[in-house]
Structure 1
Amino acid sequence: MCKYLYQFLKTILAFTASACLQAPRHNYIILTLLLCLNFINATPAAAANVSNDLLKQPATEITVSLGNAANELKFEPNHLELQAGKRYNLRLTNPSQLKHYFTAKDFADGIWTQKVEAGKVEIKGAIHEIELKPGAEAEWVFVPLKSGTYGLRCPIAGHTEAGMIGEIVISN
Structure 2
Amino acid sequence: MKKFLVKAFIFQLSLILSLSFIDFIPSAIAANLPSDLLKQPATEITVNLGNSANELKFEPNHLEFIAGKRYLLQLKNPSQLKHYFTAKDFADGIWTQKVEAGKVEIKGAIHELELKPGAEAEWVFVPLKTGKYSLRCTIPGHTEAGMTGEIIVGNL
> Are residues 1:121 and 2:104 paired?
yes
> Which of 58, 63, 73 in structure 1 is aligned with 2:46?
63
**Greater fraction helix:** 1
RMSD: 1.5
Equivalent positions of 1:1-172 (< 5 A) are 47=31, 50-172=33-155
Q: Distance in 1 between matches of 2:79 and 2:131?
A: 30
Structure 2 residue runs of 5 or longer lacking an equivalent are 1-27
Partner amino acid, structure 2, of 1:68:
N
* TM-score (norm: length of structure 1): 0.72
Q: Distance in 1 between matches of 2:34 and 2:138?
A: 33
Distance 1:60 1:163, change over 3 A: same
Which deviates more, 53-62 or 79-88?
53-62
The number of residues matched between the two structures is 127
**Off by >4 Å, runs of 4+ in structure 1:** none
The structure whose Rg is larger is 1
Q: Distance in 1 between matches of 2:88 and 2:122?
A: 17
Q: Which has the higher contact order (CA 8 A, sep 6+)?
A: 2
